[in-house]
Structure 1
Amino acid sequence: MVRLRVTTKALPEHNRRHNRSLLLQTLLHDGPMSRADLARESGLTRVTVSDLVNELASEGLISELGPRPSPRIGKPATLIGLNENAYHVVSLDLSGDDRFVGAIVDLRGTIVQRAHAELGGAGGADAVELALRLASELVARSTVRLLGIGVGTPGVVADGVVVSAPNLGWAGLDLAAAFRREFDVPVHVGNDANAAALAMRTFRDTTSSFLLVEIENGVGAGLVIGDTLVEGKGSSAGEIGHLVVDENGERCACGRNGCLEQVVAVPHLRARLAAAGADRRAGVLTDAGRSLGLALAPIVATLGLDDVVLAGPADLLDGPFLTAVLETVRSRTLATAGGPRIVVENDSHDLVVLGAAVLVLSSELGVA
């Protein structure tokens, strides 16, 4: 969360870094513009803008695109644009139930290349080695400078350390350090659902406050309130996968019975669908959606959320599952203007890799 009390003085270099980020972010989200446009949009003086534009251009981060087309008489303004290929980011999503997914991402959030590695039930040190090999493959493919490596992983993550990720057999694992030993670039590791939420806010048209629930090998949530990612004490906010929804349910990897993860995570849900047969498919999905709705309703009511995003396989989440989630949440919360909007984003792997790239962009360039 944002620090509420100011405890240190602002130094000149802080202001300059902030203003650099402001210009880069403006060009990222609003597209090419002139120096005068940048001054108006940012509120900075033209002298400051010109100075920063020259600095950023010398680093290759922005470039002149030529004169703006204009019917007016006189010299047209020169457009400045973000150079999306100034750097690449290698991003990994380790949330899949059957494979790790990776990509090379440019500064605009375009996926340049993709790769994946079959998980094959790997856990512990084997899973770490698999992730490192996938990253190495992508690093070798990158054709421009690397800004860094971003990793979205299941579990509670604090300062690059995976505190607990039961499905991968990780506890107290300094995943960032493992990557830094292999690669001579900045490395940033975050929770997969938090990464997906960052991708939604940076590269999708979303409101400034929403809850994203990622449903893959596990279940986790990313919460954005007022354009701030809420990570909670010990970075444990959003760990809804281990809320107990059925005390008589199946044993979970965390050691408890009947966790939400056992009901709605992809491998468990697919297994129940296979056992039930085609005629019971809708019923299985409805029951799972209702369980998720019961878990989400108090969260939605407490925070007053109007937007919830479900990220995961469309063949599972669209249809009866989504309908049951929506009906359950709306029936258990105070209806305001039709109740919360709940939608499905079926490219959860893309969201996580893009969010892992945002971890790098925000840390290294101040852009999100």
Structure 2
Amino acid sequence: MTPHAPVGRPLRPSGKLLQEDARRHHRSLLLQQLFREGPASRADLARSSGLTRVTVSDLVGEMLADGFVSELGAPAESRVGKPPTLVGLAADSHHVIGLDLSETDRMSGAVVNLAGIVQARHEVHVDGAVGEGAVELVLRLAADLVAMTERPVLGIGVGSPGVVGTDGTVIDAPNLAWTDTPLAARLAEATGLPVFVANDANTAVLGEHTFGESGDGGLMVLRVGTGVGAGLVLGGSLLHGHLGAAGEIGHVVVDPDGELCACSRTGCLETVLSAPHLRRRLAAPGVDGPAALAEVGTRLGEVLAPVVAALNLHEIVLSGPAELLDGPLLDAADRTIRERTMPISSTGLAVRTSKLGEDVVVVGATVLVLAGELGVS
């Protein structure tokens, strides 16, 4: 990817809308066009956005001054007459801090440029920290990452386990013992930067949708880590659900006689599919690893089949430890979904692991900041 190539797919349709802050919205329209389609002339931007050339020229001048775009010269195939000057997104002009709090034993983060490319990484070990101790680890991780870049930091994006409110408060994250924890406010106070917090599965689906290789149909990303949760993009929009709890599929009961879950129920999908549980099961004496993983995959397929039938999803992406998810578990889940749904529901369905690998949450956290601060996604 060249620095000024198209860097992502849109999260929502673009168009000229009436909003209170018209100038900010118009600027976002132009940035979105450059983000999606790559370099363009001022005239091209005016045609695609519906804005006047005077408005576009003024906004481009402002963005050049702020460093978000740069002039690239004339296109290779110029027509007769004065050639237009192309402008493109300056992907390395600013950096974003992305944090992933979903892992069992560590919290990880990265410095990411505006094209979703990781520039530096850092992590801290959890060592059993919960509650305020876990919050302090997040603050330390963020501060360390900010210190790792010399570029202006646009903001901090966080993928957190649990149910997260629109204001960045973690309403409930049992594995970290967080209840109504104002994580975004704490981070903003400590760093002085804009902060955006979302559920880690929702963050992962944003990363996969924007910077991954997903198609144009409905997308579900199933995030497997300390817990299990799903994020969904339908019709180009992130699905939040009533009270923001869409995707809490990890707390669907699959084994009433199973283990006690952190949510206080018994036999949730999380007690079968979470990474710590899978590793414990595979480490038990005499266990046939591939058969055990296939059994879990079948359980997962049974849970996902009604979702596929109801929503006619185009892709299901498993995100988590590849050594656990890719292979027998994924194959069994895929097979079970197809066995339990009508052919029209599963025709063209892709069940795969994430092409973004372990970076899917931190890259998705970058999308939170890009959308919140620049209006692009």
- For the superposition of Structure 1 and Structure 2, which TM-score range results when normalised by the shorter chain? over 0.9
Q: Does 1:334 align with 2:326?
A: no
Q: Does 1:196 align with 2:204?
A: yes
Using the alignment, how far apart are the partners of 1:71 and 1:54 within structure 2? 23
What's the secondary structure of 1:91's corresponding residue? Answer: strand
Determine the structure 1 residue equivalent to 2:85: 78
Using the alignment, how far apart are the partners of 1:209 and 1:81 within structure 2? 30
Determine the structure 1 residue equivalent to 2:313: 305
Question: Does the Cα contact within 8 Å between 1:196 and 1:348 map onto a contact in 2?
Answer: no
Determine the structure 2 residue equivalent to 1:157: 164
Determine the structure 2 residue equivalent to 1:290: 298
Q: Does 1:52 align with 2:59?
A: yes
One-letter identity of the residue aligned with 2:129? A
Q: Which of 232, 246, 249 in structure 2 is aligned with 1:237?
A: 246
One-letter identity of the residue aligned with 1:168? L
Decide whether aligned partners of structure 1 residues 221 and 303 sit closer, same or farther in structure 2, where only a CA change above 3 A counts.
Answer: same
Using the alignment, how far apart are the partners of 1:302 and 1:84 within structure 2? 39
Using the alignment, how far apart are the partners of 2:81 and 2:139 within structure 1? 56
| Greater alpha carbon shift after TM alignment, 264-273 vs 174-183 | 174-183
What's the secondary structure of 2:184's corresponding residue? Answer: helix
Q: Deviations over 1:156-201 (max 9, x none)?
A: 0002111111111111111112112211111111100000111111
Question: Does the Cα contact within 8 Å between 2:219 and 2:314 map onto a contact in 1?
Answer: yes
Question: Does the Cα contact within 8 Å between 1:70 and 1:76 map onto a contact in 2?
Answer: no
Question: Does the Cα contact within 8 Å between 1:311 and 1:344 map onto a contact in 2?
Answer: yes
Instruction: Provide the TM-score with structure 1 as the length reference.
Output: 0.93
One-letter identity of the residue aligned with 2:350? R
Question: Does the Cα contact within 8 Å between 2:106 and 2:126 map onto a contact in 1?
Answer: yes
Q: Deviations over 1:71-119 (max 9, x none)?
A: 6554322110111223211110000111111011111111111111112
Query: Which ranges of structure 2 fall in alignment gaps of 5 or more residues?
Result: 1-10, 12-16
Q: Does 1:260 align with 2:269?
A: yes
One-letter identity of the residue aligned with 2:293? L
Determine the structure 2 residue equivalent to 1:275: 284
Give the total of aligned pairs: 359
One-letter identity of the residue aligned with 1:331? E
Determine the structure 1 residue equivalent to 2:333: 325
What's the secondary structure of 1:103's corresponding residue? Answer: strand
What's the secondary structure of 2:250's corresponding residue? Answer: helix
What's the secondary structure of 1:65's corresponding residue? Answer: strand
Q: Which of 36, 43, 47 in structure 2 is aligned with 1:29?
A: 36
Using the alignment, how far apart are the partners of 1:33 and 1:113 within structure 2? 30
Decide whether aligned partners of structure 1 residues 241 and 348 sit closer, same or farther in structure 2, where only a CA change above 3 A counts.
Answer: farther
| Greater alpha carbon shift after TM alignment, 137-146 vs 64-73 | 64-73
Instruction: Provide the TM-score with structure 2 as the length reference.
Output: 0.91
Q: Deviations over 1:190-218 (max 9, x none)?
A: 10000011111111232252111011111
Using the alignment, how far apart are the partners of 1:332 and 1:117 within structure 2? 42
Using the alignment, how far apart are the partners of 2:42 and 2:328 within structure 1? 52
Using the alignment, how far apart are the partners of 1:95 and 1:276 within structure 2? 28
Using the alignment, how far apart are the partners of 1:272 and 1:80 within structure 2? 54
Q: Does 1:222 align with 2:241?
A: no
Using the alignment, how far apart are the partners of 1:265 and 1:24 within structure 2? 39
Determine the structure 1 residue equivalent to 2:117: 110
Determine the structure 2 residue equivalent to 1:139: 146
Q: Does 1:64 align with 2:75?
A: no
Determine the structure 2 residue equivalent to 1:184: 192
Identity of aligned residues (%): 52
What's the secondary structure of 1:315's corresponding residue? Answer: helix
Using the alignment, how far apart are the partners of 1:319 and 1:86 within structure 2? 40
Determine the structure 2 residue equivalent to 1:205: 213
Determine the structure 2 residue equivalent to 1:130: 137
One-letter identity of the residue aligned with 1:255? S
Determine the structure 2 residue equivalent to 1:6: none
Using the alignment, how far apart are the partners of 2:182 and 2:223 within structure 1? 23
Q: 1:346 offset after TM fit, Å?
A: 6.0
What's the secondary structure of 2:172's corresponding residue? Answer: strand
What's the secondary structure of 2:288's corresponding residue? Answer: helix
What's the secondary structure of 1:29's corresponding residue? Answer: helix
CA RMSD for the aligned pairs?
1.8
